[in-house]
Structure 1
């Protein structure tokens, strides 16, 4: 099994940017389906980059294999994970591209299972 120290999960608009760094494609089989990523070496750390919507933004939000992603990262021994997401804002003073940290989150997917 390929191991990684950390994971970067890229959402809309950033997944492909993260994959631009040299690395190699990996696939981790899980009971929930395969988890695909791009293994990179960043400052001496092995980092697995996962495009949330798959390469080319092909997977819609309701079709994302979150359980496969979580289990794949666990199997790889990932201890730290940073994920990005693109959302809208009701604040006119926040221009598109503004970075923010989420303090509240509402899961509106309607999914019953939210963990592995």
Structure 2
């Protein structure tokens, strides 16, 4: 499988009702679940890659993880995220074919629209 056929995702969760420890626990649970799917890689984002305005906790960005998935399994991962994160505020950054798309959603409806947009982006439409 060539590098170009993989899609990179950065997923940032946002829940102001949780403290840093609870957010980290929620992010690590999501990471474990994503790793159980058929992904090339999934990991927390190290502080050295900190986007401006992000918070760090224990050497990793708080509530941010990244995954790399084959094009064939991209839709499956997005479907999982839609089911799992439908009512949470998330930012999703998708990188494919040398281009990036960044979307934000804070409801099931917005997430469904963001997932559809990401799928079209990766498909080149």
- Give the TM-score band, short-chain normalised: under 0.3
TM-score (norm 2): 0.26
- The structure richer in helix per residue is 2
The structure that has the greater radius of gyration is: 1
- The structure richer in strand per residue is 2
TM-score (norm 1): 0.27
